[in-house]
Structure 1
């Protein structure tokens, strides 16, 4: 069963809502001194209070760690395919490029929270998947490529 964790009970990283290249698409950039708290090139769960999404932790060309989107499942996050919920989240919170956002470290390496400055959120933390089942799923995914 999932636990409920308030945002004020966890450590938080001050990240930035930035423009992805020359587009109007947002991304979340992680400060260099905090990158060790995020698993590079892995898909993590991101809670926004209302919903839980999946995001791939990536490195930009300039070696900045970033999250380029919020997706409905891990496969879509890996591929950057399907609906990206990050633009809607930014719009719903009236956030412009350059604004600080908070990445809450709820379960490091697995579940993080994303919230607007000054917002308090209670996250529903999902249970970690069984390692054996995750290994099987990963093996099947790799075999189908």
Structure 2
């Protein structure tokens, strides 16, 4: 069963974030604010225009960031394994930034819907409604990861 939660609901913590450049590329990435409940290596769901995507939190000398958002975990890992240069599928974060005319340096709102698991990204001033799904069972996730690593 899933619930719906608006970005302006009391249970949603909205953080001001910024888009930045991803390494030496001109592609936008998401700079995570310090107050977010995240660490490097975390895998999260990132909602872009109502669609849940998979993203990995990484870090650089400036702090935490998300370099891309992908349709599923396999595509996310393929892109991460190739430092974002692989053919792991479309980087939905880059697409979202282009569709909303957002460039590196521009502000965005990062909504903590389920801290540590589910986040939403939106243009400041816009309102979004998120479908809140149950977190995956940790035991099943461990089994899936062991199969992926073999």
Answer whether TM exceeds 0.5 for this pair. yes
What does residue 19 of structure 2 align with?
17
1:86 CA displacement:
1.2
Question: What is the total number of aligned residue pairs between the two structures?
Answer: 140
Measured after TM superposition, the shift of residue 129 of structure 1 is 1.1
**2:41 aligned residue:** 41
What SS does the corresponding residue of 1:104 show, helix, strand or coil?
Answer: strand
> Among 128, 133, 138, which residue is 1:131 paired with?
138
In the TM superposition, residue 103 of structure 1 has moved relative to its aligned partner by 1.0
Match of 1:140, SS? helix
Counterpart pick for 2:103 among 96, 104, 122:
96
- Structure 2 portions without partners, runs of 5+: 80-87
Deviation for aligned residue 1:68: 0.4
Report the TM-score when normalising by structure 2: 0.86
SS in structure 1 of the partner of residue 94 of structure 2 = helix
2:6 is matched with: 6
Kindly indicate which of the two structures has a greater share of residues assigned to helix. Answer: 1
Does 2:29 align with 1:27?
yes
- Aligned-residue CA RMSD (Å): 1.4
Q: Is the 8 A contact 1:49 1:122 kept in 2?
A: no
Deviation at 1:22, TM superposition (A): 3.3
Contact 2:44–2:54, Cα closer than 8 Å, also in 1: yes
How many angstroms does 1:114 deviate by? 0.7
Contact 1:43-1:78 within 8 A present in 2 as well? no
The equivalent of 1:65 in structure 2 is 64
TM-score, L = length of structure 1: 0.89
Q: Distance in 2 between matches of 1:90 and 1:23?
A: 15
Q: 4+ runs of 1 displaced by more than 6 Å? A: none
1:122 aligns with 2:129: yes
Q: Is the 8 A contact 1:27 1:69 kept in 2?
A: yes
- The answer (yes or no) to whether the contact 1:48–1:123 under 8 Å persists in 2 is no
